[in-house]
Structure 1
Amino acid sequence: MTAPPAMLVQDAPAVAVRVRGRAPRRAWPSWLVRVASVVAAIALWQVLTANHIRFLLRFDTLPTVTDIVTAFAHRLGTQDYWLDLGQSLIRILTGFALAAVAGVVTGIVLGRSRAGANVLGPLTELARPIPAIALVPVAILLFPSDEAGIVFITFLAAYFPIMVSTRHAVRALPTLWEDSVRTLGGSRWDVLTRVVLPGILPGVFGGLSVGIGVAWICVISAEMISGRLGVGYRTWQAYTVLAYPDVFVGIITIGVLGFLTSAAVEVVGRRVTRWLPRGEEDRR
């Protein structure tokens, strides 16, 4: 015989208590898993290089983890390391800041103005497929100093991802929002400040995250080709004199700098767009 609904309702708290009473499976903290994955990769590198393993890949030609740590400790005590670090940061932050402003402005113009799209659209689409690093010779000829040329290459590398992401974000905005502001008597400035700019923020920060990563790739490459200071320049110099542990010191430095700057963009983006629903993402 089926129990009446009243009995089911009365039994529901007891069932809930029994379900909650079960010991849930203990999940590993996400930060611990991430740290463990890095430690495991480092340990594997040490095993392969220390034992001179040569299977498909030639790990016997690479420095061990202990050699890299020793070289890193030595480099941290030199003035050149910090000069290179500061020089690369100045280049990346200058080029990225210029690209962020220009990319957002151009993206809004391309997304909202037909005249702007007709004038600037063909130029940006023709230039966008060209790798920024391929323009290093042009930058050397165009600018009076290598420093300005490297910043220009960094600017170009970050500009196009930001511009494209902003343009798509503008075009994806629901027209209902703009119509509502205009119906209430809002001006074009009101539409821009109250609808367009807040609405495109998620897309803009997506472009900024991509742009900062591409900018690091190009600034390091430009430093290797035409720089006199910087992490990329010093890494290439270490390779030319066969100082392979110092090469990996440069590689690790580049990775840490890229991680920190990308994380900074991500943190700022989350703060600025904290009004967005995130759900599972907030619990990571």
Structure 2
Amino acid sequence: MARRWVLRVVSLAAGLLLWQVLTASGVRLWLRFDQLPTAVEVAERFARQLTRAEFYGDLGSSLARIGLGFLLAAVVGTALGVVVARSRVLGDLVQPLLEVVRPIPAIALVPIAILLFPTDEQGIVFITFVAAFFPILVSTRHAVRALPTTWEDALRTMGGSRRQVLVRVVLPGALPGVFGGLSVGMGVAWICVISAEMISGRYGVGYRTWQAYTVVDYPGVVVGMVTIGLLGRVTAGVVELLGRRATRWLPGEARS
């Protein structure tokens, strides 16, 4: 375990060192590294941002949007994924509509969200919900359909009801796939919430990053990008941790 953490730290340090060397030296080959702020400049700006209340307000706004939109997507996507996979009739009714809507990028729905919802805040949460919803739905549906039929048959032969099959076989057996979808959904949700904040938001990390770009504050832009990356990694890590705890009964290979 210690060796793995050392390798991860070395990897990050090497990336930062390469960034500093290329930008501080003004390397200009096919890529123009002389146009980018150095790692030291970004670190200094990040340190200043940490002392400002505005920075934490933006963090809170983005996290609140992600939290609400993702939670709604997790509940609705998981429930609908199970229903579509378990009921042929409901699958035939619901799935065609979902498959038509699914290829539409969530960020392309921003104009619709602006028209539908009375406030920008509700529209951004809606975009976040849609972004996370489909990965969760599809992963849950595939996980439920992939369950061995012998598991259900075994419980049925012992007198198990449909409810018992759902609670004792379907949901536990599908958990690894469900959490895989949750992890992917979290990443997609961050991409879309940041984009939505840039387009129609008034607060948030995405909005502040775009504001920095409009005033040619490139260190501020990179600080925003780094902040987004850190927030995405932390939230995805929380989902993965919950997934490992919920599937502790599985063998290590299946759980990972």
Q: Normalising by structure 1, report the TM-score.
A: 0.88
Q: Which runs of 5+ in 2 are unaligned?
A: none
**Aligned-partner Cα distance in 2 for 1:103–1:266:** 18
Instruction: Report the counterpart of residue 14 of structure 2 in structure 1.
Output: 40
Partner residue of 1:251 out of 205, 214, 225: 225
Code of the aligned partner of 2:136: I
TM alignment of 1:1-284, pairs within 5 A: 29-279=3-253
CA distance in 2, matches of 1:196, 1:134: 34
Distance in 2 between residues matched to 1:232 and 1:174, nearest whole Å: 44
Q: Distance between the aligned counterparts of 2:156 and 2:169, measured in 1?
A: 11
Letter in 2 for 1:128: R
Deviation, structure 1 residue 73: 1.2
How far did residue 159 of structure 1 move? 0.3
Helix, strand or coil for the counterpart of 2:167?
Answer: helix
**Dislocated runs of 4+, deviation >6 Å:** none
Q: Write out per-residue CA displacement over residues 42-93 of structure 1, whole angstroms, 9 at most, x where no aligned residue.
A: 0111111111110110000000111111111111111110000000000001
Aligned length: 256
Query: In 2, Cα distance between the equivalents of 1:28 and 1:174?
Result: 38
CA distance 1:158–1:281, change in 2 (3 Å):
closer
CA shift, 1:37, in A, is 0.8
Unaligned runs of 5+ in 1: 1-26
Write the distance in 1 (CA, Å) between the matches of 2:170 and 2:244: 18
Q: Give the drift of 1:125.
A: 0.3
Partner amino acid, structure 1, of 2:150: L
In structure 2, how many angstroms separate the alpha carbons of the residues matched to 1:104 and 1:76? Answer: 37
Q: CA deviation at 1:281?
A: 8.1
TM-score (norm 2): 0.98
Cα distance 1:58–1:215, how it changes in 2: closer, same or farther (>3 A)?
same
Secondary structure of 1:144's aligned partner: coil
* Secondary structure in structure 1 of the residue aligned to 2:147: coil
Structure 2 CA distance for partners of 1:279 and 1:113, relative to 1, 3 Å? closer
Identity of aligned residues (%): 64
Alpha-carbon RMSD:
1.4
1:20 is matched with: none
Alpha carbons of 1:44 and 1:276: their partners in 2 closer, same or farther (altered >3 Å)? same
